């Protein structure tokens, strides 16, 4: 048999093994084929894919890299190289490589789809949505890309959400139950509950067991205050080890509201034990188990559940990089440099930034003041982070952010302000105050002060140990993975405390300090002070925040639907021993004994 014939026979045999998912056999055959044709990019590509499936990402990376030396313009190989980098946990390298490929091939939708998926996984929801939007614009008739766009719009959760893409998907595929559920979810998050109900009902007519529609209908009932009806809708679908993830999590939410903590924890544990779950699903469910056990007073078990939930992300944060960023921001916005920086001419007083460490009461405050008729709550906006991330390219500077701020002028700052205000004011009507509740904006106070000199800030403080426990006990995106590791969490808190001390010492826009503990104990007095700071008259509706039908988009959405309570004050003292790594690092910021 001739050499080419032998090679074709080997490749045919490898294809059979690949179809049967016989990865070991496929690898052996592909290695034989590679000996006959060592520079064959197709064989190298197949071999790299097999090595990934065999759990050999380093070997796969070497194989795909070798293939790229043979076929440097092969974009399929580029995507597989990025996948191998992801397998090794090198997310940043994967995104950087894809970014270079997209710059060279801006009209390749596959590259953008892959980058959107990675961005979604690391919590860059705006970036993921942007990639999906461009991909869909490039191939407007591709309904799969349109569906990805709608899913990314929902994940990004900018309210109000535009419905055009979801409506078009329904019109193009009217008998697809998932499309009606997608449109329903957008209506629900826009607080258009009647429209949401109609779309969920249509979805269930087309597919009675559609998990997204069932869980969505339950969320509508829950948001309307009918927790019992929501629980009754979900319960028949939950007591099965095959229950869909979104149905389980929606049901657990109802059980927590009904104070059935042991039942919630027991059912969720059985679901986790039944079969392997994705890291994200395991993280979310374990955190919810921990929260149920915490409310049941079973602190040791709760902390262990939180630790299991945090494990997938506990080593992905780079604390040194974050400390360097903090140092750089403090140095760039020093007293002297801040005085020399130009300012935007946009003096709009409507923007009010609510910020603080995660879990410090920002959502509660947003919900309270959103009840005032002169206030529009715009949720957690990513625009200021995006302005910071793109300022280097905007200025054409060789310096990265924040140093490149020195090379801006009023024109650039005005353009940044206009971009920000365009997104913030969408749907705000004639509101006198529009809130942006992104906690991480505490890093951007200097930037805010030069871009929006008419803005105001409300900084939410909370007991450091209570804050850190609450961060550890909730499932944040992998982008905020410092919350998954006690040492990293303590370092992030120290950096936060340090930069806030800096902002208090320099010339920034007006900032009101609000203590969570004071708000919980004396809500009327503290709310009055906040409204005075905002230049708004008292309104009794602010004391009825828990009756709001507005849907909060954060982990605190259930807490803000309850009247003010004080049970979270000092909650960390039940976890005194478990929090020793945090107490040791925070030093004087925390009390010496658990009784303080």
**DSSP secondary-structure letter at 163?**
-
Cα 213 from chain centroid (whole Å): 22
| 3-state DSSP percent of the chain in helix, strand and coil, to 5 | 65, 5, 30
Expressed as residue numbers, the domain containing 187 is: 158-235+252-258
Question: What's the confidence (pLDDT) of residue 241?
Answer: 74
pLDDT at 520 over 80: yes
- Domain annotation covers residue 52: no
Q: Which pTM was predicted?
A: 0.81
Q: Are residues 411 and 541 in the same domain?
A: yes
pLDDT at 555: 45
Alpha helix ranges (H) inside 258-345? 261-274, 279-295, 299-310, 319-332, 335-340
Give the count of beta carbons closer than 10 Å to the beta carbon of residue 587.
9
Domain C-terminal end among 258, 290, 311: 258
Least confident of 79-83, 240-244, 485-489: 240-244
551 belongs to a structural domain: yes
Residue 26: inside a domain, yes or no?
no
222 and 332: one domain? no
Q: What's the confidence (pLDDT) of residue 367?
A: 92
Three-state secondary structure of 60-123: HHHHHHHHHHHCCCCHHHHHHHHHHHHHCCCHHHHHHHHHHHHHHCCCCHHHHHHHHHHHHHCC
Mean confidence (pLDDT) of the chain: 91
Q: Verify that 331 and 224 share a domain, yes or no.
A: no
DSSP code at position 296: T
The gap from C-alpha 459 to its chain's centroid, in whole angstroms, comes to 21
Residues 220 and 350 in one domain: no
**What is the average pLDDT across 187-214?**
93
| Same domain? 356 vs 504 | yes
One domain, residues 219 and 345: no
Asked if residue 82 belongs to a domain, the reply is no
Residue 96 scores a pLDDT above 50: yes
- Close Cβ partners of 300 (under 8 Å, ≥ 6 residues apart): none
CA dist., res. 306 & res. 484, Å (int):
9
CA-based nearest residue to 566, from 466, 474, 469: 466
**Are residue 389 and residue 536 in the same domain, yes or no?**
yes
pLDDT at 276: 86
Helix/strand/coil for 375: strand
Domain CATH number, residue 178: 1.25.40.10
For 480-517, give the DSSP string.
Answer: GGGGGSHHHHHHHHHHHHHHHHHHHTS--S-EEEEEHH
Residue 275 three-state SS: coil
Question: 460: which strand partners?
Answer: 356, 514
Residues 212-230 have a mean pLDDT of 91
Phi-psi region of 551 (alpha: psi -120 to 50; beta: other; left: phi over 0): beta
Q: How many Cα atoms within 13 Å fall on the side-chain side of residue 405?
A: 29
- Same structural domain for residues 186 and 330? no
pLDDT of residue 74 exceeding 80, the answer is yes
Q: For 25-56, how does the pLDDT look when each residue is reduced to its tens digit (9 = 90+)? A: 888 988 988 888 888 888 888 988 888 888 88
550: confidence class by pLDDT, cuts 50, 70, 90: low
Range in 314-323, 399-408, 577-586 with the lowest mean pLDDT = 314-323
- Within the chain, what is the greatest distance between any pair of CA atoms? 92
Residue 9: CB partners within 8 Å, gap ≥ 6?
1
Instruction: Give the model's confidence band at 73: pLDDT under 50 very low, under 70 low, under 90 confident, else very high.
Output: confident
Spatial separation of the C-alpha atoms in residues 478 and 495, rounded to whole Å? 19
pLDDT (tens digit per residue) in 461-480: 999 999 999 999 998 766 67
371 three-class SS: coil
Cα–Cα distances in angstroms (integers) from residue 594 to residues 472, 567, 584, in the given order? 18, 16, 13
- Kindly state whether residue 501 falls inside one of the protein's structural domains: yes
Task: List the 351-356 sheet strands across, edge first.
Answer: 375-377, 433-436, 351-356, 456-461, 511-515
- Antiparallel, parallel or unpaired: β 456-461 and 375-377: unpaired
Higher pLDDT, 337 or 73: 337
Q: How many residues does the chain have?
A: 596
Q: Strand 511-515 relative to strand 433-436: parallel, antiparallel, unpaired? A: unpaired
Distance of CA 287 to the CA centre of its chain: 16
Tell me whether residue 172 is in a domain: yes
Please give the tally of structural domains in the chain: 2
Reported as a single tens digit per residue, the pLDDT across 115-159 is 998 888 766 777 899 999 999 999 999 999 999 999 999 988 777
pLDDT above 70 covers a percentage of the chain that reads 96
Examine the pLDDT at 554 and tell me if it is beyond 50.
no
440: in domain: yes
Band the pLDDT of 539: cuts 50, 70, 90: very high
31-35, 198-202, 260-264, 428-432, range with the lowest pLDDT: 31-35
- Reduced to 3 states (helix: H, G, I; strand: E, B; else coil), residue 459 is strand
Q: What is the spatial distance between Cα 183 and Cα 321, in angstroms, rounded to a whole number?
A: 40
∠ CA 126-144-159, nearest 5°, is 35
Return the percentage of the chain with pLDDT > 90, whole number: 65
Q: Which of 238-242, 293-297, 485-489 is predicted least confidently? A: 238-242
Confidence of residue 556 (pLDDT cuts 50, 70, 90): very low
Look up the CATH number of the domain holding residue 545.
Answer: 3.40.50.300
| pLDDT of 3 above 50 | yes
* Residue 596 covered by a domain: no
């Amino acid at each position: 048999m001739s050499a080419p014939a032998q090679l074709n026979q080997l490749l045919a045999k490898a294809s059979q093994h690949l179809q049967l998912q016989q990865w070991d056999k496929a690898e052996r055959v592909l290695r034989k084929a590679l000996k006959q044709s060592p520079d064959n990019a197709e064989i190298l590509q197949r071999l790299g894919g097999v090595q990934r499936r065999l759990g050999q990402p380093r070997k796969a990376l070497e194989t795909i890299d070798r293939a790229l030396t043979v076929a440097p313009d092969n974009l399929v190989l580029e995507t597989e190289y990025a996948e191998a980098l992801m397998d090794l946990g090198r997310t940043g390298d994967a995104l950087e490589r894809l970014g270079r490929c997209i710059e060279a091939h801006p009209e390749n939708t596959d590259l953008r789809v892959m980058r959107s998926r990675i961005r979604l996984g690391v919590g860059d929801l705006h970036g993921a949505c942007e990639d999906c939007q461009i991909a869909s614009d490039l191939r407007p008739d591709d309904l799969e890309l349109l569906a990805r766009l709608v899913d990314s719009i929902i994940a990004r959760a900018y309210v109000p959400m535009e419905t055009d893409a979801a409506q078009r998907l329904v019109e193009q595929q009217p008998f697809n139950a998932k499309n009606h559920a997608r449109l329903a979810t957008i209506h629900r998050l826009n607080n258009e509950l009647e429209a949401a109900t109609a779309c969920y009902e249509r979805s269930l007519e087309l597919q009675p067991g559609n998990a997204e529609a069932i869980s969505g209908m339950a969320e509508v009932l829950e948001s309307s205050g009918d927790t019992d009806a929501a629980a009754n809708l979900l319960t028949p679908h939950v007591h099965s080890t095959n229950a869909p993830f979104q149905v389980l999590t929606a049901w657990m939410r109802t059980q927590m509201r009904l104070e059935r903590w042991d039942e919630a924890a027991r059912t969720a544990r059985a679901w986790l034990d039944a079969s392997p779950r994705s890291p994200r699903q395991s993280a979310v469910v374990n955190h919810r188990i921990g929260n149920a056990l915490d409310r049941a007073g079973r602190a040791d078990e709760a902390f262990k559940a939180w630790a299991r939930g945090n494990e997938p992300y506990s080593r992905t944060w780079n604390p040194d990089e974050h400390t360097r960023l903090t140092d750089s921001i403090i140095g760039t916005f020093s007293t002297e440099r801040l005085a020399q920086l130009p300012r935007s001419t946009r003096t709009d007083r409507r923007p009010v930034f609510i910020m603080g460490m995660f879990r410090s009461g920002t959502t509660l405050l947003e919900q309270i003041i959103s009840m005032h008729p002169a206030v529009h709550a715009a949720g957690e906006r990513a625009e200021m982070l995006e302005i910071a991330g793109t300022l280097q390219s905007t200025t054409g500077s060789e310096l990265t952010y924040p140093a490149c701020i020195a090379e801006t002028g009023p024109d650039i700052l005005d353009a940044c302000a206009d971009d920000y205000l365009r997104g913030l004011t969408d749907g705000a009507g004639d509101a006198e105050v529009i809130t942006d509740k992104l906690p991480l904006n505490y890093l951007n106070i200097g930037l805010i002060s030069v871009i929006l000199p008419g803005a105001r800030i409300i900084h939410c403080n909370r007991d450091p140990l209570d804050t850190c426990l609450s961060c550890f006990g909730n499932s944040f995106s992998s982008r905020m993975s410092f919350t998954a590791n006690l040492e990293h969490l303590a370092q992030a808190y120290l950096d936060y405390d340090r930069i806030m001390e800096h902002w208090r010492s320099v010339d920034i826009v007006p900032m009101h300090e609000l203590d969570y503990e004071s708000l919980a104990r004396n809500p009327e007095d503290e709310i009055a002070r906040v409204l005075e700071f905002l230049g708004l008259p008292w309104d009794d509706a602010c004391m009825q925040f828990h009756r709001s039908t507005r849907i909060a988009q954060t982990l605190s959405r259930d807490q803000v639907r309850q009247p003010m309570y004080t049970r979270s004050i000092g909650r960390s003292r039940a976890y005194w021993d478990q929090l020793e790594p945090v107490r040791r690092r925070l030093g004087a910021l925390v009390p010496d004994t658990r009784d303080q």
